[in-house]
Amino acid sequence: MMFVVTRIEQLVEALGAIARACVLLLVLLVSFDVLMRYLFDLSPVALQELEWYLISPIALLGIAYTLKHRQDVRVDFLYDKFGVKTKAAVDLFSGIATAAIGFYIARLAFNYTMQSYNMGEGSPDPGGLPHRFLIKAFLPLGFGLFGLQGVADSLRALCTLLMPVQTREVRP
């Protein structure tokens, strides 16, 4: 089971690196856009839309990455007082719920993305970016990745629950 957990989390890390790169790119792009606007009185619509487009991979790939690194919102003042097995039971339940919600939203978002693709959706603004479905594809990808991280968390918790009592929690 831990082999599967490791592979899922390697994927989450790789896509999280893309999200981090998009943050850097967004900062550079906004800086460039501001300089162009104030120094040359230019502000192309495509640059502004690209800024908006970069927020999608940052947020949608970042949710699974954030969950993997345990930076999500939790009720730690209660959780920290639990024993190893109780924590694992809570993690198993939350991992299953995360997987179910993530995969459900990914399925809904896939239909939404395909609708955008089928109609060849692009920017409604003159000079805007085409192929809006490409950015919408981060919806099923991001929530699918979120669901996979839920599977990884569930498997890790299950390993902890199945271990003898005297051993510690399974963590990478």
DSSP per-residue string spanning 112-169: HHHHHHHTT---SSTT--S-HHHHHTHHHHHHHHHHHHHHHHHHHHHHHHHS-TTSPP
Residue 116 has pLDDT above 60, yes or no: yes
Between 131 and 156, where is the model more confident?
156
Q: What percent of the chain has pLDDT over 70?
A: 95
CA distance 159 to 4: 12
Cβ contact 143:99 at 8 Å: no
Is residue 138 one of the residues assigned to a domain?
A: yes
45-94 pLDDT, tens digit per residue, is 888 889 989 999 999 999 999 999 988 777 778 888 899 999 999 999 99
* Residue 168, in any domain of the structure: no
Q: What is the pLDDT of residues 16-39, one digit of tens each?
A: 999 999 999 999 999 999 999 999
Across 123-157, b (16+ Cβ under 10 Å) vs e yields: beeeeebeebbebbbbbbbbbbbbbbbbbbbbbbb
Residue 74 lies in a domain: yes
Q: Where are the alpha helices (DSSP H) in 41-83?
A: 45-68, 76-79
Nearest Cα residue to 158 out of 83, 76, 90, 102: 90
Within a domain: 148: yes
Is residue 11 one of the residues assigned to a domain? Answer: yes
Residue 52's pLDDT is 87
Question: Residue 167 pLDDT > 60, yes or no?
Answer: no
pLDDT of 147 strictly over 60: yes
Q: Is residue 170 part of a domain?
A: no
pLDDT at site 111:
94
Rounded Cα–Cα distance for residues 102 and 98 (Å):
6
Judge whether residue 98 has pLDDT over 60.
yes
For residues 40 and 141, give the distance between their C-alpha atoms in angstroms, rounded to a whole number.
38
Q: Is residue 171 part of a domain?
A: no
Question: Which sign does the torsion angle of CA 75, 66, 50, 119 carry?
Answer: negative
pLDDT at residue 172, as a whole number: 59
**What number of other Cβ atoms are within 10 A of residue 80's Cβ?**
9
Enclosing domain of residue 143: 2-162
- Prediction pTM value: 0.86
Domain contains 35: yes
Whether 171 has a pLDDT exceeding 80, the answer reads no
- How many structural domains comprise the chain? 1
User: What's the whole-number mean pLDDT along residues 148-166?
Assistant: 90
